[in-house]
């Protein structure tokens, strides 16, 4: 009776991991041979693991990553211009803690989105709020929010995101509204959070793509000077996977 009351209290307090572990201890006689400290330590460890797993699930759900990628799955055999030392530094997530940016450029199919999603997934594992958006989605969400009166809420969501991933800059020309929207978001995040941008265009061509010289200067000044860069090279990884039967 007392054990059931203890279980009920654990569930009421939402200590579900600890409750399940306590129930397992009651059902397995072998746990009786352990000391109180050992059994209690196991309860705490299980609750901690349960909490961390649920936090990761929540962060990944909110991140909406396009690909299920992880840094452990990055292909180092194919020469694409990724130095292991650079990648190890990025996967430590210290650049996010220091509110720096990451710019990934390279031709179509070389693996920019996969690399971006893998790094973003590691950021989620390290507890950072992350959001992935393709550039067309990014501009569409802002336009929709402005139309339905939720613009302020969306800007607040962007500003509270530790890592914002903007995938595929340069697919289409930017309108004047899109240039100003991009500047607004980058300005809000400058020095307080991190932005990861991928593009088929070399970083040197971003100024021309943005269009308006004044706005381009303002955007790039806030992005580039505190940014790590990866210039991917080589052939399409999609073609390679097809040839390998992947």
Q: Which is higher by pLDDT, 24 or 215?
A: 215
Closest CA to 189 of 101, 60, 89, 62: 101
pTM score above 0.95 = no
Rounded distance, CA 241 to CA 61, Å? Answer: 27
Predicted confidence at residue 27, as pLDDT, reads: 77
Rounded distance, CA 46 to CA 41, Å? Answer: 9
pLDDT > 90 in the chain, percent: 57
Q: What is the mean pLDDT of residues 126-140?
A: 96
Predicted confidence at residue 99, as pLDDT, reads: 96
Predicted confidence at residue 242, as pLDDT, reads: 42
Q: Which residues contact 100 (CB under 8 A, 6 or more apart)?
A: 194, 226, 227, 228
- At 195, give phi and psi (nearest 5°): -130, 135
Closest CA to 233 of 66, 104, 132: 104
Tokens representing residue 14 in the block: 């939402």
Q: 């991009």: which residue's tokens?
A: 182
**Per-residue pLDDT tens digits for 27-66:** 777 777 777 777 777 777 777 777 777 888 999 999 999 9
**Per-residue pLDDT tens digits for 163-173:** 999 999 988 88
Rounded distance, CA 108 to CA 110, Å? Answer: 6
Helices 16-27, 36-63: inter-axial angle, 10-degree rounding: 140
Q: Which is higher by pLDDT, 110 or 125?
A: 125
Task: Report how far Cα 182 is from the mean position of its chain's Cα atoms.
Answer: 19
Helix (H, G, I), strand (E, B) or coil at 115: helix
pLDDT beyond 70 at 139 = yes
Q: 């970083």: which residue's tokens?
A: 203
**DSSP 8-class letter at 174:** P
Task: Specify the DSSP element, H or E, that contains 2.
Answer: helix 2-12
**DSSP 8-class letter at 164:** E
**Per-residue pLDDT tens digits for 186-208:** 999 999 999 999 999 999 999 99
């Amino acid at each position: 009776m007392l054990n059931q009351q203890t279980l009920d209290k654990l569930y009421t307090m939402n200590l579900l991991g600890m409750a399940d572990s306590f129930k397992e201890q009651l059902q397995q006689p072998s746990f009786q041979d352990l000391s109180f400290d050992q059994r209690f330590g196991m309860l705490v460890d299980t609750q901690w693991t349960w909490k961390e797993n649920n936090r990761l699930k929540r962060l990944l759900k909110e991140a909406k990553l396009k690909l299920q990628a992880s840094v452990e799955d990055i292909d180092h055999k194919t020469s694409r211009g990724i130095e292991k030392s650079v990648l190890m530094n990025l996967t430590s997530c210290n650049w996010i803690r220091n509110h720096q940016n990451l710019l990934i450029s390279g031709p179509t199919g070389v693996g920019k989105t996969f690399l971006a999603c893998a790094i973003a997934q590691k950021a989620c594992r390290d507890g950072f709020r992350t959001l992935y958006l393709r550039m067309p989605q990014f501009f569409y969400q802002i336009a929709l929010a402005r139309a339905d009166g939720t613009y302020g809420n969306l800007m607040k969501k962007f500003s509270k995101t530790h890592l914002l991933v903007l995938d595929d800059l340069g697919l289409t020309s930017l309108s004047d509204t899109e240039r100003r929207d991009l500047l607004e978001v980058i300005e809000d995040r400058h020095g307080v959070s991190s932005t990861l941008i991928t593009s088929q265009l070399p970083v040197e061509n971003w100024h021309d793509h943005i269009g308006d010289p004044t706005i381009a200067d303002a955007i790039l000044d806030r992005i580039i000077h505190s940014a790590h860069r990866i210039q991917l090279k080589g052939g399409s990884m999609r073609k390679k996977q097809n040839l390998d039967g992947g």
